[in-house]
A and B are shown apart, each in its own frame.
Chain A
Amino acid sequence: DAGVTQSPTHLIKTRGQQVTLRCSPISGHKSVSWYQQVLGQGPQFIFQYYEKEERGRGNFPDRFSARQFPNYSSELNVNALLLGDSALYLCASSLDGDSRSTDTQYFGPGTRLTVL
């Protein structure tokens, strides 16, 4: 079975532009989480979606938004890009994401975003 896939692999944008990152979860997984990993740091939680609903949000500005589709794939959108948004964006999927469970999250290879 395929693991979590993300596209594109790399992306270069300029300040003020908008970007959309895509993620496809492991087959059968209903929950998708997004993380931002700045160089030299551990990943920081941005969002989790379960059954197309936002289940949780980290400490990120409203410029960051996401959605989940009926096939459980997800998009992360970032508007009005800043230089500080340059990072590796990781997507992780888990089986059902029920708030009472702690399903292990499996990560994709990430999208490297560079903002110039």
Chain B
Amino acid sequence: AQTVTQSQPEMSVQEAETVTLSCTYDTSENNYYLFWYKQPPSRQMILVIRQEAYKQQNATENRFSVNFQKAAKSFSLKISDSQLGDTAMYFCAFMNSGYALNFGKGTSLLVTP
């Protein structure tokens, strides 16, 4: 079974600063996909970024980027120039060549003025 671990229950960052959220996973698969989802207080789960394991290049989406370390089974999310609207729960999720997303327990990020 695959497991996803997010070791930081809560984090805080000041507006315009950079923050990194950690995620590790455990799998015996070689081909898989990793995701970061954001869930603001409105509860809507929003895709932030996606990474294919076969790609060595780290994915980026505007202010969001990942540091994917396949050997270490690590998948951290970096948010640059943090904005108040980034305040949310952030979930790391894993999917192998199937259909089910396996989520971590989440990291609550608070962006302060």
Contacts and interface: CB of A to CB of B under 8 A. Distances in A.
Interface in A30-48: 31, 33, 35, 40-45, 48
Contacts of B95: 102
Interface residues of B, number: 25
Interface string A72-92: 000000000000000010101
Interface string B81-113: 000000000010101011111111110000000
Contact of A33 (B47, B91, B100, B104): B100
Interface of A: 31, 33, 35, 40-45, 48, 50, 55-56, 58, 88, 90, 92, 97, 99-100, 102, 104-110, 112
21 contacts: A31-B99, A33-B100, A33-B101, A41-B105, A42-B91, A42-B105, A42-B106, A43-B45, A43-B103, A45-B101, A58-B100, A88-B43, A90-B45, A99-B97, A102-B52, A104-B47, A105-B101, A106-B47, A107-B44, A109-B42, A109-B44
Interface of B: 4, 33, 35, 37, 42-47, 50, 52, 91, 93, 95, 97-106
